Amino acid sequence: MTISEQEIRSATISLLDEVDFQEVGGISFRGEQYDRGLAFVHHPTGLGGRGASPALQGIVDEILADANVPAAFASNPIGVGMGAPTVMTYGSLELQRRLLRPLFTGEEIWCQLFSEPGAGSDVASLATRAVRDGDEWIVSGQKVWTTLAHVARWGMLVARSDPDAPKHRGLTYFVLDMQAAGVEVRPLRQITGEAEFNEVYLTEVHISDSMRLGEVGNGWSVAITTLMNERASIGGLVLPRSGGAIAEALHTFGMRGSPVDSLDQLMQLWCGSEALRLTSLRAAAQRQQGNPGPEGSVVKLANAELNQKIYEFCVDTQQEDSLFYPDYTMRRPEFAGVHGDTSQRTATQAFLRSRANTIEGGTSEVMRNILGERVLGLAGEPRSDKELPWSQIPKG
């Protein structure tokens, strides 16, 4: 049976009428939202959805936003934006039932365990080892730049299960319990003073084979699903006109009474922001047809570089006031800085944090390669190690 827009709209209004977000809190409200099939409307009944068109999720999100109900994405961006679509695409029904509801409610935060000290932009060269032992895998290695690992219950882990296969083919993907024995999380302090990122050490960590996503050795394909959703999540948040970073620039400009040449610069930034907003709307419409493709890299790339220009404008406009940064105390935030709470953030702090935008979720150089190869159809860069067994590739 086809679910209509009116049914989704009525169900969402009923949720708001019957459950008071302010009274019950975010976890309970989102639990009700999930149980009523309004979390991921395109999922089957019982898994947060109603088997509806993915396009109808926008109706739910719009009604809740108008009622000042924070999106689930804000409390668990990696789980909702990357974990859910990966689990739904590759996970067993048992895993889907176990993981999706607490992921959506925010009871169980997720992190992503891909990058390593020797495998950043080239994730497929990772060295973390997974050795099969009956119905379990024993995993040892080190991951780095892991956002929110210090508060995460689950981690999306890619490890090398066959070192004698070419680097893209010998990988296997797991959901890792971050509370398991052998998992150690250490903070990485940023230039803002915060430690939003972490390095994670894995020492003979036991993972049940039931926590594997996809086939053994097919971890790269599963990882691509996560990565495409990651780029869409980082760059794909559709803000209202004059919202987000450009709103801070408008406010800063108005407070300082800046000269005419600054107004010209501001208008160029505003036009760029509006063009990006419209591009994000188009990309969001494409994503609703399924897992995102390389078009997510367009928005991610443009958004990262525009954010940096906007916050450079803000600190330039504030002049000497921007030189003072009041608190470098090491803090471990519970929200990701990409889309986290910015209500108490200064322009200087935003400027410093924005330095990471062109690195996290894939560097701008990687995004340009993806767009060149997969969108424009240009020849790829030479890869001399593509067919070599990973064990034979020179390291270091």
The catalytic residue positions are 230
Helix, strand, coil abundance in the chain, percent, nearest 5: 45, 15, 40
Angle made by CA atoms 310, 227, 274, in degrees to the nearest 5? 30
HSE (side-chain half, CA atoms, 13 Å) at 30: 24
Residue type, 326: P
Helices (DSSP H) in 25-182: which residue ranges? 26-35, 57-66, 72-75, 77-78, 84-90, 93-105
Residue type, 300: K
**Residues near 161 by beta carbon (within 8 Å), at least 6 away in sequence:** 130, 131, 132, 137, 170, 171, 172, 216, 217, 219
Alpha-carbon torsion (80, 86, 91, 93), positive or negative: positive
Give me Rg for the CA atoms of the chain: 22
DSSP H/E element including 198:
strand 197-208
- Cβ(205)–Cβ(174) below 8 Å: no
**Residues near 343 by beta carbon (within 8 Å), at least 6 away in sequence:** none
DSSP H/E element including 185:
strand 183-188
Biggest distance spanned by C-alpha atoms of the chain:
71
DSSP H/E element including 310:
helix 295-318
Residue type, 247: A
